[in-house]
Structure formats: structure tokens, C-alpha cells
Amino acid sequence: MGEVRTIGVDLAKNVFQVHGADASGAVLFRKKLRRHQVLTFFAGQKPCTVAMEACGSAHHWAREIGRLGHTIRLIRPAYVKPFVKRQKNDAADAEAICEAAQRPTMRFVVPKSEQTQAAALVFRARDLLVKQRTQIINALRGHLAEFGIVAARGPARAPQLMQAVEDPDEPIPKLARPILHMLVETLHRLDEQIALLDHEVAQRAKENETARRLMTIPGIGPVTAVALAALAPPAETFKRGRDFAAWIGLTPLQHSTGGKQKLGATSKMGERTLRRLLILGVALALNDPIKDVPVLVDGPPQPVLLAGNSDHDLVEVPNVAPARPLAFEAAGVVWPELQRPSPNGFIGDDHAALKQHLLNQPQAQWEPEIEPYCVGDDLGWKAVAFVADGLDHAAPSTRLAPILRLM
């Protein structure tokens, strides 16, 4: 029997499947392991390559098995599927993972540390709360419409719905009013929890050195900077800025054949949170060009409304279509900044080319009625605006001057 070189692991909650192969790919063993047997099994193996599909628990097992001296390889499930032979079962999956890990051109996912996963939790939790808030608002609008009370779409009209529930003169049946009160109270709690997460993001932007450097890039503010520091893998993972942009999902889809290059829309295959934030930030920069004014990076950001009506209940976000190619360029600028510190704390000539490119772009059309105080979810474009202390909140051109203290 040869020496084990690669072990493929099909992860599960309780029953794991492992597949061992030597350097030539010949099968050495196939085993089922209970959860409590996994670490004992790998502790008894000589150091080798252990491959797993990148899933929810993969990073945890990568850390635990890696401490035993093994080399860890995480593979996207989409890259493993072509190696599955006919039937779909645990043994076939483990064998496919083992074979995929042995391919010389295979791309692997970088295992994350506990701190990295913990830092990303604030964005995952906030997206969930925003979606829940949207569901509650839609439910309130739908239920009230059944009783003849209508309101325009959008979270900006939520106060109008809540006021209707509280108003005893509105034609709401007595039996329905307590249930609607429960929805209103839930909405208030969600607003409070989202505000706490907003404060946490702003605090991290002030304390994280990498985030403060990233905020010198046009179109990147505290939210995007903190998200990049928390969600992006190490910069040395990528050979060039374009690879980083492709990981985010900003490169076009290819449908080329017969020597003819045919490019489509952006792939949207990568990290959707970072992709959304970069596109929004550049889109806002397009609609309010920034002059070459040095801005301190370490100014504490404060949340403010971006551009609304006299009641400050709406914020306008530009059409994002013209911003997608520029978001690709912004990602290319982000990559070297993740590798090296900036020589000083000011926006100088480091990103002059990108700034001039933004200034040369035609103004995009605006789409109104987008709510403020929201990182953004799949239900619509939302935005959080941040400005440095001491800026005039009443002047949009001044508020957006430090190259978009926005996402």
C-alpha cells in the first residue's frame, strides 16, 4: 500500500466520509467517521493534503485539522461537481473532492481565521435585520391596504404606516389593531438593532488602520472599507488587481468562440456584499465629482442623510449601470492598498488617475426614493452616508467632498 498524499473529506453534521489516495491517485481507503472520530483519525495520519468543499463549517475544520500538521485545501463546490461520477452519495463526493484537489490548475479558497469570521458577522447580521425590516414594512402596508389605508412603497413611508396604526380614528377593526401593534413594535426593535450595528461599523472604521487607508480611495468610505478589511482574503492571494476584481464579481461574462471575443454583463459570481458596496460608492462619486482636496483619513465618521427632501426622509442614489466598469477599476486600486500602507494620511496623488477618471465621466440619471441608513440588500439599492466631523451637513457638495464617506 502506498503512502497517503491526499485525503478528501465530505463534511456533514454527524457522519463524515473520507477518501484517501496516494501520489498517483490510486485509492487507499474509504471510511465513514462520526463527528467525535474526525480529529482522532487525522491525528493518526502522517502530514498530507486534506481537501474539503468550502462550506459553512469548512473553515472551522480547516483550522482544527491544520493544527495537526496537515495542509488544508478548500475547493468551491462548483469546481468539485465535474469530478463526481454518476451517483450522488457521500463516498462519491469524497472521491471527487480528492481528485479535484490533485489537479495542478485547481483554484482553492483561503481558510479564514476565527477573528476574520467574527469581523464579517456584523455585515451578515445587518443584512438579515434589514431584510426582516423590509418584510415587516411590506406586511404592514399590505394589511392596512385591506382596510383602505394605502401608502407609497419604500421604508421612508414606514412612519406613515405606523402613525395610521396608532391613530384611533383610522378605520381599522378592533380585532386587527393589537396584531398590527405587534408588527409596529417589532419594526421599532429592528430599527434600534440596525442602528447599533451602524455604530459598530463606524467605530471599526476609526480603529482599523487598513480601513482608514482604504478610505483614501475615491468611492470608498467607512462601510466599504470595513467590509473590505473583514471580507476580503489576504491580498497576496491574488496576483493582480484584476484577479481581485474577478473574485468580487465585477468582471464580464465571456461567451467567446471561434476566435471571436464576446463579453456580457458582470459575472456577479463573487462576494456580493463587496460588489454592491463598491458599485454604490462609485455611482455616488459619479454624480458628485470631487475636487482635489486633501482629506484626513482618521477623521471620525458620523452617519448623516445623503441628499433628501426638506423633511430629510428620502435619499437619492444614482443609476448604477455607468458605475459598474468604474467599480472594477476601484477594485484594482484597492488590491495594492491591501498590500502596503499609505505613506501618509491624506488623499494625495496616489489615486489621482482614478479621481480624474471619475471627474471625466458623464453625470448619471438619478433614481429617487431610496432609504438612508442601510448598507443595501437584494430588495433594492440602499445607502449609508458618512462624513467627517466639522462638515456642513446642509450642503450636498460639501457633505460628499471627502470622496464619498459612503460605503
pLDDT tens by residue, 132-142: 999 999 999 99
Least confident stretch, 81-95, 106-120, 160-174, 337-351 = 337-351
Q: What pLDDT does 181 receive?
A: 94
- Is residue 1 very low, low, confident or very high in pLDDT (cuts 50, 70, 90)? low
Query: Quick check: 392 pLDDT over 80?
Result: no
Distance CA 196, CA 364 (A): 33
Query: Quick check: 318 pLDDT over 80?
Result: no
Domain borders along the chain are 6-101, 117-196, 209-399
The percent of residues in the chain predicted with pLDDT above 90, rounded, is: 38
Query: Quick check: 128 pLDDT over 80?
Result: yes
The highest-confidence range among 266-270, 343-347, 401-405, by mean pLDDT, is 266-270
Strand partners, 27: 21
> How are beta strands 27-34 and 366-370 bridged, if at all?
unpaired
Least confident stretch, 49-53, 88-92, 124-128, 300-304 = 300-304
Query: Quick check: 382 pLDDT over 50?
Result: no
What 237-241 contacts at long range (C-beta under 8 Å, 24+ apart), as own/partner pairs, is 237/110, 238/335, 240/335, 241/331, 241/332, 241/333, 241/334, 241/335, 241/336
- Average pLDDT (175-204) is 92
Which of 161, 148, 170, 150 shows the shortest CA–CA distance to 188? 161
Q: What pLDDT does 384 receive?
A: 29
- Average pLDDT (339-367) is 46
Distance CA 209, CA 117 (A): 18
- Is residue 294 very low, low, confident or very high in pLDDT (cuts 50, 70, 90)? very low
pLDDT: which is higher, 52 or 360 = 52
Give the CATH architecture of domain 6-101.
Answer: 2-Layer Sandwich (3.30)
Q: What pLDDT does 269 receive?
A: 80
- Alpha-carbon distance values, 384 to 7, 204, 279 (Å): 46, 15, 13
Query: Quick check: 404 pLDDT over 70?
Result: no
Least confident stretch, 99-103, 177-181, 381-385 = 381-385
Task: With 0.75 as the threshold, say if the pTM is over it.
Answer: no
Distance CA 407, CA 385 (A): 7
- Is residue 179 very low, low, confident or very high in pLDDT (cuts 50, 70, 90)? very high
Q: Phi/psi of residue 293, each to 5°? A: -115, 120
Handedness of CA 357, 363, 364, 368 (dihedral sign): positive
> How are beta strands 263-266 and 252-254 bridged, if at all?
antiparallel
Q: What pLDDT does 346 receive?
A: 36
